[in-house]
Amino acid sequence: MKRVVLLCFLLLSTWWNSAFSQPTLVLSTVDDFPPFNYMKDGALTGIDIDIVEEMAKRLSLDIKIVSAIWKGVMLQIKAGRVDGGFAAFLNQERQQFSLYTAPVHYEAMHLFVNQEKTFPFTSLRDLDGKVIGKESGAFISEAFQQAEDSKRFIVHEGINANNLKMLGLNRLDGVIGNLEVMQYHLKTLKLSQKIIPLVAIGKKQAAYLILSKESKYPNIQKLQQRIKNVLENMQIDGSYQRIANQHLMEEPD
């Protein structure tokens, strides 16, 4: 009889935990995008990481953040292998498989050049015939994508730090990337005096936390609105700027 009671208790406990336990929201991002997302002492850190963790705390969400290259992040979200990720620009292709919440940061994309081999730039036409580096899978702008598709210039895709090294060796004509991220890498690589930002490419863009339409997380569309509300409140109450300032004041290792 005691065994039957114990078995019933174990079955009831299993059902209760299954029915009422908090599911884990799995989010994917890159780990080489300082000061927003990067590895330090074996752990993911950065502005976006702290913002997403603060958002989760306010919503009492159990989250897990995993990392991949940017192209991999997008493929994971599209296939529903993760519940979402960050931080993505808004474009039509991504809207097909993503639910957008709110921005976690804003990005100003810049064209970086080697001072030994600079050139004038007033429009994308000035890139014709050149070899330009960008992060694998990164979206620059619709105009840039159209010019790339028309093969007006050659695009080399790779991680930002390696692209900057190649630019320093004059193996690329230019590299496009986020201003803060590239400047962080240049300090780390000790190339700040050799490679400079030439000009902004397009306008500053919002980079969002997005959720996968293929996610099996319960009530994902309701969660989309809840996350959106909290992230927007964090902008209003100053939490975003406080978190950003903490990281921007740190010097690269």
pLDDT at 1: 52
Residue 219 to residue 194: CA distance in whole angstroms: 51
pLDDT band at 180 (very low <50, low <70, confident <90, very high): confident
Peptide bond into 218 cis (omega under 30): no
pLDDT at 7: 46
pLDDT at 4: 47
pLDDT band at 253 (very low <50, low <70, confident <90, very high): low
pLDDT at 15: 46
Short-list 202, 93, 94, CA closest to 144: 202
What digits encode the pLDDT tens for the residues 13-67?
Answer: 444 444 456 799 999 999 989 899 999 999 999 999 999 999 999 999 999 999 9
What digits encode the pLDDT tens for the residues 202-251?
Answer: 888 899 999 999 999 999 999 999 999 999 999 999 999 999 988 877 66
Name the residue with higher pLDDT: 164 or 9.
164
What digits encode the pLDDT tens for the residues 60-113?
Answer: 999 999 999 999 999 999 999 999 999 999 999 999 999 999 999 998 899 999
Short-list 52, 205, 65, 67, CA closest to 139: 205
Question: For the residues 112-126, what does the mean pLDDT come to?
Answer: 95
Measured CA to CA in angstroms, residue 251 lies from 57, 232, 246 at distances of 27, 28, 11
Is the confidence at residue 2, as pLDDT, over 80?
no
Collapsing DSSP states into helix, strand and coil, what is residue 51?
Answer: helix
pLDDT at 107: 86
pLDDT at 108: 85
Contact 64, 26 (CB under 8 A): yes
